[in-house]
Amino acid sequence: MDVKMTSTQTKASSGRGSGTRVLIYSHDTFGLGHLRRSRAIANAIVAREPDTSVVIISGSPVIGNFEFGSGVDYIRIPGVTKLPDGDYRCLNLNVSLDEAVRLRQSLILQAAKSFQPDVFIVDKEPTGFRGEVLPALDYLQGSGCRLVLGVRDVMGEPALLVPEWERKDAKDALIRYYDEIWVYGLRDVYQPLAALGLPPEVEARITYTGYLRREVPPTPSLNRYPKITKQPFILVTTGGGGDGDDLIDWVISAYEADPDIEMPALVLFGPFIDRDKRGSFVERIARQPKLDVLSFDTKIERLMQKAEAIVAMGGYNTFCEALSFDKRTLIVPRTRPRLEQYIRAVEAERLGLVRMLSDYRAPRTPERMAAALRGLSSQPRPSEVVIPGLLDGLDRVQERLKALTDNATAFAAFHQAAE
């Protein structure tokens, strides 16, 4: 007969300390979004509860460039990357994708067995990349660990999300394994899982946390900021940069076509920008007196705080930062291969939090971008719109984490008393 042990019982039997342990799986096959969201959550957890230990499992090649709070560490597993045709390959190792997934799966399971977390937070994908989290979920569910799926406010258009989750058996995994589902947004803004037709008992497990507030890092960036940042400037950011070529090109073309745009702009490339396109952009930027460039900054929050306004693609993290630092923001969403950013931008513009400029149904002309850039200085700030709970995400995450661990402790005490 199988015997399930609670997480608290496992602690006692292993002789480990009493501090809460949290394991986070960061879904990171492309860009920086998942890693930066996981990092924000981890740092907030240890800031509130200093005796907590958090381990992030990630395949991001740049995770070592980021700073983490005391009590947070990471395990780097072999990376995979998404190709332009939508397929995947191993990032660095000379092995097949199947072999890389088997290796990642083994390392994730071993981390779960060795770390013995009280709570396991899985980012975005209920089964992980190609099912790699399933063995760890089976093991941790049997050991009494509480399992949480965390998803961003928008997962994509329902017409694509539903068949994708069916193909991955993600809905079944969500029903079978997860004690709670945290949506890092607000129900009134968007309901990312509504189209899945979840059973009522699963719907009851969903908590809308609000967006994840960001703070300025306590230590300064090592980057030396260009002179352009000593005056009011627009920060142009594409996140990781792997899919931001169109936005950068559009902004540069606006300044090339209209030298009378008043506010200068600093273009932040991101670590994953294509090398050849980067060289072309640098040459064009060098010819524009109101443009400058910075390769990458792991403490982008400082640049955002300094900026007068932001132009961005509208990924989840950038949106949270624009709200947190109360910046006038122009969202230029990616519309291929997914409409996630476009959906977020439409809803945010509807609420008056940002303005959107899209090439989804209109041409991408320099004149349209120039007009939008000139309009930034008179645009309302996000704080002029009152939305209760908008940036309460990290507080709610910590509340739910405490409730999960308190319940586990209470159950263990009851079980021991009954024996």
Per-residue pLDDT tens digits for 117-149: 999 999 999 999 999 999 999 999 999 999 999
Q: Residue 410 and residue 219: Cα distance in Å, rounded?
A: 40
Has residue 2 got a pLDDT over 80? Answer: no
Angle between helix 316-324 and 340-350 (nearest 10): 30
Mean pLDDT of 300-312: 94
181-212 residue pLDDT tens: 999 999 999 999 999 999 999 999 999 999 99
Has residue 44 got a pLDDT over 70? Answer: yes
Q: Residue 9 and residue 415: Cα distance in Å, rounded?
A: 10
Q: Residue 89 and residue 75: Cα distance in Å, rounded?
A: 20
What is the predicted pLDDT for the residue at 3? 34
Pairing of strands 80-82, 88-90: antiparallel
What is the predicted pLDDT for the residue at 24? 98
Distances (CA, A) of 95 to 98, 100, 103, 106: 8, 6, 10, 15
State the DSSP code for 391. T
What is the predicted pLDDT for the residue at 237? 94
- The first and second tokens of residue 321, run together, are 């930062």
Least confident window among 90-104, 353-367, 405-419: 405-419
What is the predicted pLDDT for the residue at 287? 97
Closest CA to 369 of 200, 244, 251, 196: 251
Q: Please, what is the average pLDDT of the chain? A: 90
Is the Cα dihedral 303, 304, 309, 314 positive or negative?
Answer: positive
What is the predicted pLDDT for the residue at 121? 98
Burial readout 58-90 (b: 16 or more C-beta within 10 A, e: otherwise): bbbebbeebeebebbebbebbbbbeeeeeebeb
Helix locations, 144-203, DSSP H? 158-168, 170-177, 200-203
Has residue 299 got a pLDDT over 90? Answer: no
48-88 residue pLDDT tens: 999 999 999 999 988 988 889 999 999 999 998 877 666 78
Residue 311, strand partner residues = 236, 330
313-340 residue pLDDT tens: 989 999 999 999 999 999 999 888 789 9
Closest CA to 212 of 121, 298, 321: 321
Number of alpha carbons in the 13 Å side-chain half-sphere of residue 18:
2
What phi and psi values does residue 214 have, to the nearest 5 degrees? -115, 150
Domains of the chain: 18-213+391-418 (3.40.50.2000), 227-384 (3.40.50.2000)
Order of strands across the sheet with 328-331? Answer: 291-294, 265-268, 234-237, 309-312, 328-331, 355-356
210-243 residue pLDDT tens: 999 999 988 777 778 888 999 999 999 988 767 7
Closest CA to 19 of 44, 47, 64, 49: 49
pTM: 0.90
